[in-house]
Chains A and B, each alone.
Chain A
Amino acid sequence: MSRIALAAIMLVAMTGSSAFAATRPAAKLASANVENGKAVFERWCSACHAPKASLAGTLALQTKYNGEVPAALEQRTDLTPDVVAFFVRNGVAWMAPFRKTEISDIELADLGAYLAKGPAKRTDAKRKDAKRKDKAR
């Protein structure tokens, strides 16, 4: 239900009368830098969205989805770069939109790629990376 609900909310928001910035297509995942996306997350998002129940973003998403999806963004497996870009550029409730001098389009694509990758794939990627390094030794 949660994915459908989220998609429905997005559709309403994106086609609604709000004059807030429309989302531009996020850059292709392949060209995005996931490591940099992690740095963007830590710089701009983690103060509200880290896995700590009392933080504004984590508290809000826990309340909104009631456990159907993880409350902390980095633990989600259903995020896409477009969803991330939509919320970054439009904001929601008390979260004001982020300007391009704060999170540039390239950084936004990196952030989207990082969050879209999901925790399991990120762990896999790390493991593979470690293996490659082992072999290189």
Chain B
Amino acid sequence: MTHLPAGLTAATFADAVKAMQATVGTEWVFTSDPDVALYRDAYSLFHDEPEERVASAAVAPANVEEVQAIVRICNARGIPLYPISTGRNLGYGGSAPVYSGSVVLDLKRMNRILSVNEGDCSCLVEPGVSYFDMYKHLRSTGSKLWLDVPDPGWGSMIGNALDSGGGYTAAPYRGHFEAQCGIEAVLADGEVLRTGMGAMPGSETWQQYRMGIGPCLDGLFRQSSLGIVTKMGFWLFPQPEAHLSCTVDLFRFADIEPLIDLVNELEYGNIFNGMPSVSSPVLTRGGGMMFAEVPAEEEMDKMVRETGQPAWRFSVSFYGPEKVIRAQWDYVQERFAKAFEGAKFREGQFTGFPLDEAAMEKASKARFGIPSLDIFAVGSRSPNNPEPSHGHIWFSAIIPRSGKGLVQANRVMRQACERLKIPLFMFSPAVTCWTRSFVLFAAVPVSNDPAENKKLREAVREVIGICAEHGWGEYRCPPAFQDAVMDSYSFNNNILRRVNERIKDALDPNGIISVGRYGVWPKRLRDGGKA
């Protein structure tokens, strides 16, 4: 049964389907129930409930001109259109729309790598290009360039960047939206916009200088409902000569404040360029993925004495020529030895590039820009997990990059999850994809039982509120929580959302693109009018 967009007649919808078929071919317009069901969010928190966000149809264009034509067809008829790139943003909505009845615009067929520039170390791609695709292309062409990959390699470079995904290599590349340079987007009226230097015909610097002139418009398309990104440029990492990973262990609770301050000074001073991490061996004895609640100072120091495990571990890594990165590691040791009594240093793996086949097998893939799906093993059926869950969601809050911030967020979140019986399977309070803040990540299984999911939704909404009371906001979330999270950015009577709405009304007056995404709704659906 087709789930028509609210307020649309079956005749208008049928007419639009016919027009879309004429544009892309009947084979690429999906309207049958089994075909449309493939666009369900496999990890939905509303699984099989009336509120589950489902598509009315899906259409898969092959090029920008077809995207423009489809947008015009939908705009003329007020049909909501929900673009996806590869639709593999599992845990954050997958390939399903945020607003039921939307037609999913599936951009997977637009999978051309338009250019890779070995000279300025950049590329220009279409939204269907996955990390696997780009990696394969770079290796098969003998490129000297690396790409920065998130955990699952089947994601879209563009889609991941637009949802603010992050990776694991050197600092300038880890924030994927920050490493983009140049966007082409189709607007709601079908016009094509190019940002930055792409706005100047004949420019050779579209992938070199992001700003162009005037307000920088790239941000309009991040987590947005303002346009359909059809091209994006990225800066790529020239393969370094080597990588060195090392650790520094500290043994007192009180070390955490000066530890984070020194990590910050060294990273912002370009002494190391790899992704750092701050963990606690004494608090992760139950498994590296589960950081326990930080106890009181005396208790933690006692645990350290009794177990011999360090209170804190700073993992640091370096990419570059061997003599440079060894000197950087020497300097890091010097600074830590001066600042911390009893600091223990361990030089870990040294890896030269390119990797040979055997080294590739053992490699920490994401650190070397190699895409994989290895991460999914954390939720697989296994002897420790005999009944795997239906899926998972992520909770991802931005917290302060300070010792105090880390400890406080850890305690508040751990206590809240315990009280609300949120069944965490991963809890990591100090993720450093972005250099200037921590991200607190928590992963929670989802069920296919509506009662369980209802409980989880209520609990997570409460956690969003608790975080907001402390000034910790999620930077990304599944559709079930996008309104609540946008509401929590409430400075000056939610002016952030209100300005987003004004821009939405100006650029997309009929309110057709990505309706409801990240809490921005078109006029007709605001103030309780949401379906």
Query: At the interface, yes or no: A51 with Cβ under 8 Å from chain B?
Result: no
A15 on the B face (CB < 8 A): no
A137 within 8 A of B: no
A31 adjacent to chain B (CB < 8 Å): no
Asked if A60 and B382 make an inter-chain contact with CB atoms under 8 angstroms apart, the answer reads yes
A57, CB-defined interface residue at 8 Å = yes
* Complex contact A93–B90 (CB within 8 A): no
Which of B33, B106, B381, B388 is in CB contact (< 8 Å) with A99? Answer: B106
Query: Among the listed A21, A56, A64, which residue makes an inter-chain contact with B376, where contact means beta carbons less than 8 Å apart?
Result: A56
Interface residue ranges of A75-118 to B (CB < 8 Å): 89, 91, 93-102
Per the bound structure, the CA–CA distance linking A100 and B153 in Å amounts to 19
Instruction: Report if A48-B376 is in contact (Cβ < 8 Å); known contacts: A59-B382, A63-B386, A101-B108.
Output: yes
Q: Is B379 an interface residue (CB 8 A)?
A: yes
Asked if A4 lies at the interface with its beta carbon under 8 angstroms from chain B, I say: no
Whole-angstrom distance between the alpha carbons of A20 and B94 in the complex? 15
Q: Is A96 within 8 A of B380, CB to CB?
A: no
- Counting CB contacts under 8 A, is A24 at the interface? yes
| Known A-B contacts A63-B381, A100-B30; A47 and B37 likewise in contact (beta carbons under 8 Å) | no
* Docked complex Cα distance between A64 and B387 (Å): 10
- Contact mask B66-95 → A, CB, 8 Å, 1/0? 000000000000000000001110100011
Instruction: List CB contacts (< 8 Å) of A49-64 with chain B.
Output: 54-57, 59-60, 63-64
- Determine whether the beta carbon of A97 is less than 8 Å from that of B381: no
Residues in chain B near residue A63, CB distance under 8 A: 380-383, 386
CB atoms of A22 and B34 under 8 A apart: yes
* A56 vs B374: C-alpha distance when bound (angstroms): 7
Say whether B379 contacts A93, CB under 8 Å: yes
Cross-chain contact B35 with A100 (CB below 8 angstroms):
yes
Cβ of A19 under 8 Å from chain B: yes
8 Å CB contacts to A: which residues of B174-229? none
A101 near B106 with CB under 8 A, answer yes
Pairwise interchain contact A94-B380, C-beta atoms closer than 8 A = yes
A1-45 interface code vs B (CB 8 A; 1 in, 0 out): 000000000000000011111101000000000000000000100
Query: Helix, strand, loop or mixed for chain A's interface?
Result: loop
Question: Would you call A93 and B108 a contact (CB within 8 A)?
Answer: no
Cα–Cα, bound, A75→B83 (Å): 38
In the complex, whether B60 has a CB less than 8 A from a CB of chain A is yes
B43, B87, B153: most-surrounded residue (chain A CB, <10 A): B87
Q: How far is the CB of B112 from chain A (nearest CB, A)?
A: 15
* B380 pairs with A59, CB closer than 8 A: yes
Residue of A nearest to B48 (CB): A19
Binds A, one of B118-126, B137-145, B283-291, B389-397: B389-397
Most buried by A among B33, B38, B88, B382: B38
Complex Cα distance, B40 from A76, in Å, reads 30
A48 to B381, CA, bound (A): 13
Q: B264 at interface (Cβ–Cβ under 8 A)?
A: no
B390 proximity list for chain A (CB < 8 A): 93
- Interface flag for B154 (CB, 8 Å): yes
Q: Contact: A97 with B386, CB < 8 Å?
A: no
C-alpha gap A71/B34 in the complex (Å): 29
Alpha-carbon gap, A48 to B377, bound state (A): 8
CB atoms of A94 and B389 under 8 A apart: yes
Question: Provided the pairs A56-B373, A63-B380 are in contact, do residues A47 and B94 lie with their beta carbons within 8 angstroms?
Answer: no
Chain A residues with Cβ under 8 A from B372's Cβ?
47
Q: How far is the CA of A55 from the CA of B152 in the complex (A)?
A: 12
Closest CB in chain B relative to A6 CB, distance in Å = 14
Given the interface pairs A55-B374, A56-B377, A59-B382, the reply to whether A101 lies near B60 with Cβ below 8 Å is yes
Evaluate contact between B376 and A96: CB separation under 8 angstroms. no
Given A59-B382, A99-B95, A101-B106, residue A93 in contact with residue B389 (CB < 8 A): yes
Provide the residues of chain B in CB contact with A43, threshold 8 Å: 132
Contacts of B90 in A (CB 8 A): 94, 96
Q: Is the CB of B374 within 8 A of A99?
A: no
Nearest chain A CB to B371 CB, angstrom units = 8
Known: A56-B376, A64-B381, A99-B38. 18 other contacts (CB 8 A): A17-B48, A19-B40, A21-B34, A21-B35, A21-B37, A47-B153, A48-B373, A54-B377, A56-B380, A59-B377, A60-B380, A63-B382, A93-B379, A94-B389, A99-B87, A99-B95, A102-B86, A102-B108
Task: Name B's A-contacting residues (CB within 8 A).
Answer: 28, 30, 33-35, 37-40, 42-43, 48, 58, 60, 86-88, 90, 94-95, 106, 108-109, 132, 153-154, 372-374, 376-377, 379-383, 386, 388-392
A residues bordering B, Cβ < 8 Å? 17-22, 24, 43, 47-48, 54-57, 59-60, 63-64, 89, 91, 93-102
